[in-house]
Chains A and B, each alone.
With several copies, the nearest count.
Chain A
Amino acid sequence: MSELETFREEVRQWLEANAPQALRGRRNDPAAVPWGGRNPRYAYPESADWLERMAGRGWTAPTWPKEYGGGGLSREHERVLHQELARLELPPGLTGFGLSMIGPTLLQYGTEEQKREHLPKITGGKIRWCQGYSEPDSGSDLASLQTAAVRDGDEFVINGQKIWTSGADLADWIFMLVRTDSSGKKQAGITFILVDMDDPGVEVRPIRLISGASPFCETFFRDVRAPVGNVIGEPGDGWTVAKALLGHERSMIGGMAAPRVSLPELAAEYLGRDEQGRIADPVLRHRVAQSEMDALSFQLTVQRNADSLAAGHQPGPESSMFKYYGTELNMRREQLMLSIRDQQALGWEGDGYSEEELLQTRAWLRSRANSIEGGTSEIQLNIISKRVLGLPG
Chain B
Amino acid sequence: MKLVLDPAQAMLAKTAADFAAKQQPVERLRALRDARDELGYTPSVWSAMADLGWTGIPFREDDGGLGMGMAEVVLITESLGRGLAPEPYLSAVVLAGGLVSALGSEAQRAAWLAPTIDGSKRLALAQHDEGTRFDPATCLSSAVSDGDGWRLSGRKAHVIDGFAADAYVVVARTSGEQHDRDGISLFLVPADRAGVEVTRQWRVDSRNAAQVHFADVALSRDDLLGELGEGLQPLEEAIDRATVALCGEMLGLMREAFERTIEYLKTRQQFGVAIGSFQALQHRAAEQFVEIELCKSVVMAAARSLDEVGGEGGEPERRSRAVAQVSNAKARCSDAVILVTNEALQMHGGVGMTDEYDIGLFMKRARVCELTFGDAAFHRDRFAAARGF
Contact = CB atoms under 8 A, between A and B. Distances in A.
Q: Do chains A and B touch in the complex (CB under 8 A)?
A: yes
Interface of A: 134, 137-141, 144, 163-164, 207-210, 212, 264, 267-268, 271, 277-279, 283-286, 288-290, 292-293, 296-298, 300-301, 303-304, 307-308, 310-311, 313, 321, 324-325, 335, 338-339, 342-343, 345-352, 361, 365, 368-369, 371-373, 376-378, 380-382, 384-386, 388-393
22 contacts: A134-B350, A140-B349, A207-B354, A210-B360, A286-B377, A289-B380, A289-B389, A300-B300, A303-B3, A307-B4, A308-B4, A324-B290, A342-B375, A345-B371, A348-B204, A350-B200, A373-B350, A381-B283, A381-B286, A385-B282, A386-B282, A393-B282
Given A209-B354, A307-B4, A381-B287, A139 B349 contact: yes
Nearest to B375: A339
Given A307-B4, A343-B371, A392-B277, A139 B354 contact: no
Contacts of B270: 138-141, 144
A372 B350 contact: yes
A298 B360 CA distance: 29
Given A209-B355, A286-B380, A311-B4, A321 B293 contact: yes
A319 to B, nearest CB: 13
A302 to B, nearest CB: 9
Interface string B351-372: 0111110001001100110011
Given A284-B377, A345-B371, A349-B202, A391 B265 contact: yes
B328 interface: yes
Contact of A297 (B205, B280, B297, B346): B297
A376 B280 CA distance: 13
A278 to B, nearest CB: 6
B200 to A, nearest CB: 7
Interface of B: 2-4, 128, 130, 133-134, 157-158, 199-206, 211, 262, 265-266, 269-283, 285-287, 289-290, 293-294, 296-298, 300-301, 324, 328, 331-332, 338, 342, 345-346, 349-350, 352-356, 360, 363-364, 367-368, 371-372, 375, 377, 380-381, 383-385, 387-389
A285 B338 CA distance: 21
B50 to A, nearest CB: 28
Given A288-B384, A289-B383, A377 B346 contact: yes
Contact of A389 (B128, B202, B286): B286
A303 B380 contact: no
A312 to B, nearest CB: 10
A349 B200 CA distance: 10
Contact of B286 (A290, A368, A372, A384): A384
Given A144-B272, A279-B389, A300-B298, 10 more contacts: A163-B350, A208-B355, A210-B360, A267-B389, A277-B388, A343-B128, A350-B201, A368-B363, A389-B282, A392-B266
Contacts of B383: 289, 292-293
A386 B3 CA distance: 27
Contacts of B363: 210, 368
A324 to B, nearest CB: 6
Contacts of B353: 209-210, 368-369, 372
A332 to B, nearest CB: 11
A346 B290 contact: no
B286 A325 contact: no
Contact of B3 (A304, A352, A393): A304
Contact of A278 (B3, B274, B385): B385
B282 A301 contact: no
| Interface majority SS (helix, strand, loop, mixed), chain A | helix
Contacts of B324: 296
A301 B297 contact: yes
A285 B388 CA distance: 11
Nearest to B348: A372
Candidate in B287, B331, B345, B349 with the most chain A CB atoms within 10 angstroms: B349
Contacts of A351: 199-201, 211
Nearest to A338: B367
A243 B46 CA distance: 50
Contacts of B389: 264, 267-268, 278-279, 285, 288-289
Contact of A289 (B4, B338, B346, B384): B384
Nearest to B324: A296
Contact of A307 (B3, B356, B360): B3
Contact of B355 (A210, A311, A389): A210
Given A296-B328, A350-B201, A372-B349, A391 B282 contact: yes
Contacts of A352: 130, 157, 199, 201, 211
A140 B346 CA distance: 12
A286 B262 CA distance: 33
B128 to A, nearest CB: 7
A346 B367 contact: yes
Contact of B203 (A324, A346, A382): A346
A268 B367 CA distance: 22
A378 B281 contact: yes
Contacts of A144: 270-272
A278 B381 CA distance: 10
A164 B287 CA distance: 27
Given A139-B270, A293-B328, A350-B201, A300 B301 contact: yes
Nearest to B345: A368
B290 A325 contact: yes
Given A342-B371, A348-B202, A372-B353, A384 B290 contact: yes
Contacts of A279: 384, 389
B280 A381 contact: yes
B377 A371 contact: no
B347 to A, nearest CB: 9
A51 to B, nearest CB: 31
A321 B288 CA distance: 11
Contacts of B205: 346
A303 to B, nearest CB: 5
B216 to A, nearest CB: 21
A285 B389 CA distance: 8
Nearest to B203: A346
B276 A391 contact: yes
A22 to B, nearest CB: 33
A289 B280 CA distance: 30
Contacts of B372: 343
Given A210-B364, A212-B355, A297-B328, A137 B269 contact: yes
Contacts of A388: 286, 289
A285 B265 CA distance: 38
Contacts of B387: 264, 289, 292
